[in-house]
Structure 1
């Protein structure tokens, strides 16, 4: 079975195409066939002007047309497409999404921050985690950060905050919002024996790659602080050169690190695991469940 997910975030749009097989125990196994990322950067318009500009609208349409061609080439029958923070805030979102549907046949659902956080659970990330440890899953995007708390394989709390990398670059995150996040985290971790963080998003994946750690090894809070301090001391061009990063990664990685450092600090977590999964993976798992239920 071939499944695909499209995640239209505030910084980039991703198309994930996945093959699903049943293993010997009749359990689904998800194998990534292709992942395409286009830096549309919708948030740069929306968080400043409240709408998506004609130029970025055109880029979005062209990207969706390209994705449609890939979906046809891979003979994908089942697709789930969602948009997050920037599209939630854009005053012209409805018109643009109708145009995408008309020109490509792709229907995009704008999901709430809570649904975005809940979709992380669809990846079955909670299965196999250690008992009696409170895990805080941190998904940092361009427009928002989703926090999901797991204990003994169950979600105990989830919340979305309008603190994202692009909003921070645009200096559009009030101190009161940081305080709200801080108080929420401190309330949730109160009484926990041990807290461990799990991170997702392109920025933390890039930091993990830079660290040269082996798969499955955690990154320390101290290391994240070191990267934040080191990268902040460089200009954008210097960062791109020193770390071999594209511009659309080099500018948002610093605010992303700030978010991760703050969340770990407030949660009392000294380490963060990077399983290299994200919203698109959650969408694939949710889509698989929907397809199976319809059979």
Structure 2
């Protein structure tokens, strides 16, 4: 087994740990663990992380710490994204985690999220540019215009699945009013990227997009068409979450994000005049591991306790 490196992100839907080593053909995943926390929906609604969610997060980080020790991981990067960035009590929470477990969780910017996602998406979705990269999670959607390996424009839209559900009131199944409200919010927020230049293709990544891909393409086909997203949105808009679970072979929490994800991605595809999108199985964690491997001589070890 090669040198083990880890990356963990405290996202708006999940907290996720990846332990992997590099091979000649890419990344070999050794441990891929996650807990569903739904921080983004709570922070969008209340502005902070509650005591209950904080307790769940602490238990998750403790479990991740044990896995780092068990697998004798040489280096690790822990970071948090939109929900933690926006939570009014994030400084207290992150300080407490460092005190308990010796793990420093960095708050990374939307630009940093996009950079790491772009780096990893090139492993399985390399192709012509300029391209549009859509990195979508529970709190935000990063939209990047990429040309010649450079992210020339990056815009963070506050319409991740949890944020959109909190703002629109969408449940599963949602009311017609909630769907129309969600569509209105998506249109308003996506106006921020209306002046982007045209692109040759769209690549989608992040937990929200991977959820769509796995639900629609269990065979692993990486190309999703607009008709498939339209059907998924129509289907999920009328079904109870438990039926979505059975029909698309997804977990209950992921089932509740499929409608929001399909509406968001479908709108962006329409804006840029594309009928299909490439789905990358990689994201910020894989990008972090690739980056750490490139600068292995630097001190990127997690503080030990």
TM-score exceeds 0.5: yes
From 22, 39, 63, the equivalent of 1:66 is 63
Structure 2: 5+ residue runs without aligned partners?
169-181, 301-305
- 3-state SS of 1:70 partner: helix
Instruction: Show CA shifts across 1:137-185 (max 9, x none).
Output: 111111100112223433232121111101111126795773342352x
The structure-2 alpha-carbon separation of the partners of 1:292 and 1:225, relative to structure 1 and needing over 3 Å to count, comes to farther
Q: How far apart, in 1, do the equivalents of 2:68 and 2:288 lie? A: 16
Question: Using CA pairs below 8 Å that are at least 6 residues apart, which structure has the higher relative contact order?
Answer: 2
| Whole-angstrom distance in 1 between the partners of 2:192 and 2:77 | 35
Equivalent in the alignment of 2:209:
204
Tell whether 2:284 aligns with 1:273.
Answer: no
Distance 1:213 1:150, change over 3 A: farther
1:69-93 alpha-carbon deviations (Å, 9 max, x no partner): 0000110020101101110111111
Contact kept, 8 Å, 2:18 with 2:33, in 1: the verdict is yes
1:87 equivalent among 84, 87, 100? 84
| Residue deviations 1:203-247 (CA, integer Å, cap 9, x gap) | 332332333465454111111111111111212232223223222
- Aligned twin of 2:38: 41
Shift of residue 124, structure 1, vs aligned partner: 6.1
8 A Cα contact 2:43 2:87, kept in partner: yes
Matched, 1:151 2:135: no
Q: CA RMSD in A?
A: 2.4
Instruction: Please tell me whether residue 218 in structure 1 is matched to residue 223 in structure 2.
Output: yes
Query: In the alignment, which residue of structure 2 is the partner of 1:162?
Result: 158
Change (3 A) 1:154 1:127: farther
Q: 1:47 to 1:179 in 2, by over 3 A?
A: closer
- SS state of the match for residue 187, structure 1? coil
Q: What residue number does 1:256 align with?
A: 261
| Kept in 2: contact 1:10–1:86 (CA 8 A) | yes
Do the aligned partners of 1:11 and 1:40 also contact (CA within 8 Å) in 2? yes
Contact 1:195–1:268 (CA under 8 A) maintained in structure 2: no
CA-CA distance at 1:200 after TM superposition: 1.2
Give the Cα–Cα distance (whole angstroms) in 1 for the partners of residues 14 and 125 of structure 2. 30
Secondary structure, counterpart of 1:170 in structure 2: helix
1:106, distance to aligned residue in structure 2 (A)? 1.0
Shift of 1:64: 0.4
Partner of 2:177: none
- Residue 235 of structure 1 is aligned with which of 224, 237, 240? 240
Count of residue pairs brought into register by the alignment: 285
For normalisation by structure 2, the TM-score amounts to 0.85
Cα separation, partners in 2 of 1:39 and 1:164, compared to 1, 3 Å: same
Q: State the shift of 1:122 in Å.
A: 2.8
